[in-house]
Amino acid sequence: MTSDAASLRRPDGGRWCDLEGAVLLGGDARNLPEMRRIAAALSPAAHVTVLVEVCGSDQVGVIDAREGRVSWLDRSLDGGLRPRGERLAQAIHA
């Protein structure tokens, strides 16, 4: 872990690298850089699940979740797009 990752703070002021157990990260393609930094900062004791809403396969990238899981949730639907957040909410509540 880099010193930058060790100093990365959560909204509550705590450090991401101090979390243990289950961690859920969710967002869309705009949040990929931050989700990558957070996933890299997590301790080995954290088991991360990353849910990312995308507007097509061209937005699918790579997130190193170690032993965790990354799910890419495509908003595409018959030439249009589902509302932002719909696929993410469905995945969280599944």
Distance CA 31, CA 59 (A): 11
**In this predicted structure, what is the pLDDT of residue 6?**
65
- Mind listing the pLDDT tens digit for each residue in 9-20? 888 999 999 999
CA dist 6 → 10, 87, 91 (Å): 11, 31, 29
pLDDT in tens, 37-93: 999 999 999 999 999 999 988 999 889 998 899 999 999 988 889 999 999 999 999
Predicted local confidence at residue 77, as pLDDT: 84
| pLDDT above 80 for 5 | no
Q: 41, 55 in Cβ contact below 8 A?
A: no
Q: Return the pLDDT at 35.
A: 93
Res 2 pLDDT > 70: no
